[in-house]
């Protein structure tokens, strides 16, 4: 098999994503908890049958556990036979994005429609992320009029490759550039930029509208 990646790290990631203990994963995969622990801690290779059972137990694929899909967009497989599209309420949307993670900011930039990924946290009911002073999300998201903020879109989604399911949440609101005198308070959310670098400008989006969709089997 190719593209093995860090098997141990991926096993831990998917187990924690589901909130499972090693014993629960072992029971699902019909193997010993000690063997699951060994694979997590040593990132060792295992035979195909065990890896297949682990992938099923963790709701993912063997390819994902082996790190083989890093350079491909998610969701390349066929849709399920009878998918059902569900409209989610605001409370459910907020619950899904509350843990934070990576989302996408969409706005009309100086070079046309722009979508950029950002690491975000929910803080005080608002979406908070960091960007660079002088960068596109600094310059393009300023209206130039005091007290007037530009309305933008922020999207977060999750795709379950193994189950052919997923959800998407859309947040719409004004982009508020947090001034330096308020930066210390904004830093309380402890968000860090995924791309690293000198990104000390905090941007806050207070939701004016939140909508979401979930696709799943009937």
Residue ranges per structural domain of the chain: 7-65, 83-217
Q: Residue 196's pLDDT is what?
A: 77
For the domain made up of 7-65, the CATH class stated in words is mainly alpha
Q: What is the mean pLDDT of residues 189-197?
A: 82
pTM above 0.75?
A: no
Q: What is the C-alpha separation between 193 and 171, in angstroms, rounded?
A: 20
Do residues 132 and 201 lie in contact, with contact meaning Cβ atoms separated by under 8 Å?
yes
- pLDDT tens column, 2-38: 334 478 888 998 898 888 999 999 999 999 999 999 8
- pLDDT tens column, 117-164: 999 999 989 999 999 888 888 888 887 787 788 899 999 998 876 677
Q: Residue 70's pLDDT is what?
A: 64
Query: Hey, which CATH number is domain 83-217, 2.40.10.120, 3.20.20.70, 2.30.110.10, 3.40.50.360?
Result: 2.30.110.10
- pLDDT tens column, 45-70: 678 888 999 999 998 888 888 877 66
Q: Residue 5's pLDDT is what?
A: 47
Question: What is the pLDDT confidence band of residue 1, given thresholds at 50, 70 and 90?
Answer: very low
């Amino acid at each position: 098999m190719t593209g093995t990646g860090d098997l141990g790290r991926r096993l831990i990631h998917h187990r924690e994503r589901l909130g499972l203990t090693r014993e629960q994963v072992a029971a699902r995969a019909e193997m010993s908890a000690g063997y699951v622990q060994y694979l997590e801690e040593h990132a060792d290779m295992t035979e195909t049958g065990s890896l297949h059972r682990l992938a099923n137990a963790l709701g993912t694929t063997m390819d994902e556990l082996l790190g083989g899909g890093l350079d491909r967009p998610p969701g390349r497989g066929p849709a399920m036979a009878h998918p059902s599209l569900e409209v989610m309420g605001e409370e459910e949307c907020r619950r899904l994005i509350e843990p934070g993670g990576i989302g996408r900011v969409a706005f009309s930039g100086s070079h046309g429609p722009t979508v950029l990924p950002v690491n975000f946290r929910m803080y005080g009911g608002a979406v908070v992320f960091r960007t660079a002073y002088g960068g596109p999300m600094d310059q393009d998201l300023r209206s130039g009029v005091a007290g007037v903020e530009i309305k933008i879109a922020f999207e977060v989604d999750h795709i379950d490759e193994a189950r052919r399911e997923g959800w998407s949440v859309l947040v719409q609101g004004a982009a508020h550039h947090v001034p330096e005198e308020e930066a210390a308070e904004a830093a309380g959310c402890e968000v860090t930029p995924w791309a690293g670098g000198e990104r000390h400008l905090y941007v806050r989006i207070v939701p004016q509208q939140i909508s979401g969709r979930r696709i799943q089997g009937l």
